[in-house]
Structure 1
Amino acid sequence: MVVKMMIATAIAMASRTVPLMPIAMGRRRTRPVVSAASDRMEMKAAPINPEWIIDGDPQARMADHSRSGDRAAYTALWDCTAGTFRWFFMWDETVHIIEGDVHVTAADGSVHHLYAGDVAYFNAGTWATWRVDNYVRKVAFLRRPFPTALALAYSVKNRILPAKTPSL
């Protein structure tokens, strides 16, 4: 069983490090570029779990922007009115605040005041308290975390092989 897991892990790591451009080009299921004006995206109600609300009546909305073909990455536009609430990050999430501001208190007690133009990263599996005094609008870039065994193997691979930064 352990040997099978190691083989599966090695295959998964190789598939993440070996460029698969020719294969991907032949099976394209999504558009190669997805773009939208954020002020024209259709925002739909995305209620915050009532058990998470600490103060006020925050009203959240979101608009789907894009998903990767393997459904491991997702981009959305999200906004919220005034209120204080706890939030659980199921996925790794990078946010770019595009309007308004928010006070974020992490589980370790650190406070981060994010303004328009700021970027922040939240680890999957963590809680944070969000205090929105007036309004906040963000773009959220979400990535599904690897399963624990695969994440460990990937971490080992990264320690052994030098990291390659993707060209932008």
Structure 2
Amino acid sequence: MVFRNNSMTARPTAAARIADTGPAVQPAPAMAPDTAALPESALFTLSYLNKDALKPSPIEPSWILEGDPKARCNNLSSFGDDWTFVDHWSCTSGKFRWRYFYDETILILEGEAFITDDNGVRYHAVPGATLSFPDGSAANWEIPSYVRKIAFNQKPVPSYLHKFCRLINKIQKNIFN
């Protein structure tokens, strides 16, 4: 079940469907292949989730509401001058108010967090859960013990560009089909 607009729907999220068939993310093999061996001509980014690669990434002190949460992060990939990037992130217990400067979708890998939006709706994020936060929003995070996630971030695209791209696609279909 998924909460959307404060009502329950029967449509499971992709993460829920994955969780029903096994772990959402497989850990890196004990002996992960050497990604440095990829040729310079490689077109794709290959990364492995590795908790040991997480580096200190302090939360803005003015955002901390309670406790001493310690965040750690490792960038897995980025595209187009940081237009889109993927981070592996973890945090210890504490409460803080997080502000979003990108559209962000997260997938919880381990632990749990209680996230409260500005309408007072509280979300319980556990492994396999996904949440999406629009650019410009903020949320209060409460981490009882520990949480680890993958964050998919993208700068928002203005609506006029979406409309322009749809127009171009229509023109291309009419010309080339």
- Name the TM-score, length of structure 2 as normaliser: 0.67
Deviation at 1:90, TM superposition (A): 0.4
Residue 154 of structure 1, aligned match among 155, 161, 170? 161
Matches within 5 A, 1:95-114: 95-114=106-125
Matches within 5 A, 1:9-28: none
- For the pair 1:84 / 2:92, whether they are aligned, the reply is no
SS in 2 for 1:90: coil
Contact 2:112 2:147 in 1 (8 A): yes
Deviation at 1:30, TM superposition (A): 7.9
Higher helix share: 1
- For the pair 1:44 / 2:43, whether they are aligned, the reply is no
Aligned-pair identity in percent equals: 33
**Shift in alpha-carbon separation, 1:83–1:141, aligned structure 2, 3 A:** same
Counterpart position of 2:18: none
Deviation at 1:35, TM superposition (A): 2.3
Contact 1:30 1:69 in 2 (8 A): no
Aligned residues: 130
SS in 1 for 2:50: helix
Contact 2:98 2:139 in 1 (8 A): yes
RMSD across aligned C-alpha pairs, in angstroms?
Answer: 2.1
CA distance in 1, matches of 2:51, 2:122: 32
- Name the TM-score, length of structure 1 as normaliser: 0.70
User: For structure 2, which runs of at least 5 residues remain unmatched after alignment?
Assistant: 1-39, 171-177
- For the pair 1:140 / 2:151, whether they are aligned, the reply is yes
SS in 2 for 1:51: helix
Contact 1:78 1:139 in 2 (8 A): yes
Contact 2:47 2:77 in 1 (8 A): no
SS in 2 for 1:38: coil
